[in-house]
């Protein structure tokens, strides 16, 4: 199974911390955030990971790649910690590609089209960690296999936070009114967390989408109706 992990965001909500440090590399307990995301992808059955990065994101690639100079030192002094990372990195094939301009999530996923080909695939957000007995990505994949339709995971957000996220209208299914609220109050307080679109999703993303258009960010990736 292939998984795509967009990790090209600017991390503006974490400034100044993310001015030089990718938000995906910020520590969560004893690991960078993206380490947890990759663990979830692999635990869900992914064996081929494509991570979409951007400028100032080389640290993400280096983390999963390793360094001869550092590896000798770490193995001698921190063998157990390094072994955990080595086991993770050897559990799947890692690929990296850059999103050259910050055009949003839909455009980032579009960068994966050639790599994914005709196969269904998982998408996990590079800065979003889920805690569940059964990995959320695995639940998504199992649901996708059962329904044969693109599937997304969502969560409720507090009313004062809805302007920060893409908000969906749902009643078991998500229609094409996936929006980003800038002003006022929205009654649909649910933001997209992760999803597993099918190959046909790529045809729904404009070749050069306008990142300022709130309608395309998730709608054009997941289609007009997703469970």
For residue 181, the cross-strand partners are none
For range 187-204, the mean pLDDT: 48
Q: Does the pLDDT of residue 178 top 50, yes or no?
A: no
pLDDT in tens, 108-124: 888 888 898 888 888 89
Q: Does the pLDDT of residue 43 top 90, yes or no?
A: yes
Q: Does the pLDDT of residue 130 top 90, yes or no?
A: no
The domain spans of the chain are: 2-222
Q: What is the pLDDT of residue 224?
A: 42
Max CA separation in the chain (angstroms) = 57
Spatial CB neighbours of 218, under 8 Å, sequence gap ≥ 6? 105, 106, 152, 166, 168, 178, 192, 195
Q: Does the pLDDT of residue 183 top 60, yes or no?
A: no
Cis omega (within 30 of 0) for bond into 16: yes
pLDDT in tens, 2-20: 999 998 887 777 778 777 7
Q: What is the pLDDT of residue 4?
A: 92
Architecture per CATH, 2-222: Alpha-Beta Complex (3.90)
> How much of the chain, in percent, has pLDDT values that exceed 70?
64
For range 40-59, the mean pLDDT: 91
Q: Does the pLDDT of residue 93 top 90, yes or no?
A: yes
If one compares 187 and 105, the residue with the highest pLDDT of the two is 105
Q: What is the pLDDT of residue 219?
A: 44
Q: What is the pLDDT of residue 227?
A: 37
């Amino acid at each position: 199974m292939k998984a795509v992990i967009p990790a090209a965001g600017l991390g503006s909500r974490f400034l100044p911390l993310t001015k030089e440090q990718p938000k995906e590399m910020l520590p969560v307990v004893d690991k960078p955030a993206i380490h947890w995301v990759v663990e979830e992808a692999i635990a869900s059955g992914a064996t081929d990971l494509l991570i979409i990065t951007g400028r100032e994101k080389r640290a993400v690639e280096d983390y999963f790649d390793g360094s001869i100079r550092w590896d000798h030192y770490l193995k001698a002094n921190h063998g157990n910690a390094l072994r955990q990372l080595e086991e993770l990195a050897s559990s799947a094939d890692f690929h990296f590609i850059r999103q050259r301009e910050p055009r949003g999530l839909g455009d980032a996923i579009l960068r994966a089209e050639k790599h994914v080909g005709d196969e269904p695939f998982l998408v996990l957000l590079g800065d979003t960690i889920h805690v569940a007995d059964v990995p959320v990505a695995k639940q998504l994949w199992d649901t996708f296999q059962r329904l044969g339709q693109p599937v997304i995971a969502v969560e409720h957000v507090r009313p004062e936070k809805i302007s920060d996220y893409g908000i969906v209208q749902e009643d078991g299914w998500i229609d094409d009114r996936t929006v980003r609220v800038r002003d006022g109050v929205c009654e649909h307080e649910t933001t997209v967390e992760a999803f597993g679109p099918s190959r046909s999703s790529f045809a729904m993303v404009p070749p050069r989408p306008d990142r300022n258009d709130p309608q395309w960010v998730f709608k054009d990736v997941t289609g007009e109706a997703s469970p």
